């Protein structure tokens, strides 16, 4: 299965609490930090919720 690299590109300071929680669930704590996760429907939903704060790349 494919892997996604999710990188936080914007601050979570002025965001709603549920979006802050979603970033924490993804494992992102600071701007510029990246995590690699398996591509699942659940992960796609998390990314969609915070799409304006993160950059997503597909890794083969």
Give the pLDDT of the chain (60 residues) as one tens digit per residue: 799 999 999 999 999 999 999 999 999 999 999 999 999 999 999 999 999 999 999 998
The per-residue DSSP string of 3-60 comes to: EEEEEE-S--TTS-HHHHHHHHHHT--STT-EEEEE--HHHHHHHHHTTTTEEEEEE-
pLDDT value for 11:
96
Domain boundaries defined on the chain = 3-59
State the Cα–Cα distance between residues 8 and 31, nearest whole angstrom: 5
Homologous superfamily (CATH) of 3-59 is Ribosomal protein L30/L7 (3.30.1390.20)
CA distance 8 to 23: 8
- pLDDT value of residue 43: 96
pLDDT at 58: 95
pLDDT value, residue 29:
96
Predicted local distance difference test score (pLDDT) of residue 52: 97
Rounded CA-CA distance 59/49 in Å is 21
Residues counted in the chain: 60
């Amino acid at each position: 299965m494919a892997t996604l690299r999710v990188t936080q590109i914007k601050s979570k300071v002025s965001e709603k609490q549920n979006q802050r929680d979603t970033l924490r669930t993804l494992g992102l704590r600071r701007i510029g930090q990246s995590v690699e996760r398996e591509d699942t429907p659940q992960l796609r939903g998390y990314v969609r919720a915070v799409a304006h704060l993160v950059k997503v790349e597909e890794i083969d």
